[in-house]
Amino acid sequence: MKKEDYIYKPKIDSGKLFIPLEEVQLIKPYLFDELITKSYSKTTGEEYEELEVSSKGAEYTWDNEEDGTYVRFGVNVMSFDGLNNSKNYVWVLINSKHLHQDYFKGITKETLPQLYKYIMSFEVFLCSYETFSSGLFTDTDICFDFPCKKDQFEVFKKNLKMSVKDDTKWYSKNRKDNTGIYAPHKTQPRSVATPSTPYIKFYDKELDFEVKSFKFRDSYMKGVEYRDVFRYECTIKNRKHANRLGLKEVRTISQLLESDLRILCSQMFREYFHKPKIVNVGDLRPMDKVIIDLMNIAIEKGVDRYKLFSVFDRDDVTRTSKSDLIKKYHMIMNGDKINKEKMESNELTKKIFEYLGVSMEQLKIDFDKKDLNDKSKKGGE
């Protein structure tokens, strides 16, 4: 597999899938053992008819020491509707490593049937593909991969910390076995994460294969191009988080895979940036508002003022219309509705930020801040 086959393609990396117990056939029934606690009379030894249901069931884990993969199953009493309507679910941890050679494709609409066959092959439980794909998701990681050199990544980490609204939420590593950057907590980023401060990390996929997943790499990554590949990963923690992302009606794994995963990556990343301010455009005409928005979009895309002006200073209209258009340009540019500040960034940072939907107005670059610091130092001398 070549890099161009999978870079900048969002996918699910892992998650926990819940399937109603009533819709599956348990092949290993002991998974259900710890859920049922029978009550007996101390006097007669008679069994009561009521069954007390525990909230935590047994787990079954299959570890493959040869390729470094594992699968974990269990049964839990859960409520997903927020109304305390609890019921029994079989759950399974799904992971893109279960796709083996297709690992970098990730879990998608196309690879979900492949994942289903693999999970069913363990014969812990059996269900139809329709039932499996209708399983409820939680604690789900979404990711995409991007090409990057190690020295570029070091610059990117600096740029990222200087761009977010609160850099104390971001932690970077500079060890030989870990060079990533992540949020929102130093030691427990996943458990401490909230819907407004989601778990996010950027890391070196090649280094991950060398340090942690070398067994998997040796088993399945032969012929796969993964040198100088880094990964962005973010987590939909629970239903509350899903609702914040606008996924109130998206409950099943198949529905999630039908959603715009790239936008979800963007939404979680943008939680760490200042929200855009609402601009009061006063009594401007609707068409002027449209022109202002289009000009700002063009500026964000790197169009300079001369190119913008050429759109107004045109020769395919009458002389009077051309004069009116030029007046319109100056009227708009002389106001405070157009963002005239030009932000600069290195190519890698700009591309990743744009991919994740972060406005370039929010990007603060290392060398810009350094220049400001140098000027302030000189002023204080």
**In this structure, are 138 and 171 located in the same domain?**
yes
**In this structure, are 239 and 305 located in the same domain?**
no
- Residues 225 and 231: their CA atoms lie apart, in Å, by 14
Write down the pTM of the prediction: 0.73
Predicted confidence band of residue 188 (pLDDT cuts 50, 70, 90): very high
Joined together, the tokens standing for residue 381 give 């001398």
DSSP 153: H
**In this structure, are 7 and 93 located in the same domain?**
yes
- Residues 196 and 241: their CA atoms lie apart, in Å, by 8
Q: What percent of the chain has pLDDT above 90? A: 57
End-to-end CA distance of the chain: 57
**In this structure, are 263 and 296 located in the same domain?**
no
Q: Which of 22, 16, 139 is nearest to 88 (CA)?
A: 22
Note down the domain range covering 314.
286-333
Rg (CA), the chain: 27
Residue 363: pLDDT over 70: no
**In this structure, are 156 and 207 located in the same domain?**
yes
**In this structure, are 223 and 324 located in the same domain?**
no
Predicted confidence band of residue 204 (pLDDT cuts 50, 70, 90): very high
Report if residue 31 sits inside a domain: yes
**In this structure, are 57 and 121 located in the same domain?**
yes
**In this structure, are 119 and 246 located in the same domain?**
yes
DSSP, collapsed to helix, strand or coil, labels residue 350 as: helix
Say how many C-beta atoms besides its own lie within 10 A of residue 130's C-beta.
10
Predicted confidence band of residue 279 (pLDDT cuts 50, 70, 90): low
Burial of 272 (0-12, 13-18, 19+ CB in 10 A): buried
Containing 75, the helix (H) or strand (E) segment is strand 70-78
**In this structure, are 22 and 164 located in the same domain?**
yes
Residue-wise pLDDT for 71-111, tens only, equals 999 888 887 766 667 888 999 999 999 999 999 999 999 99
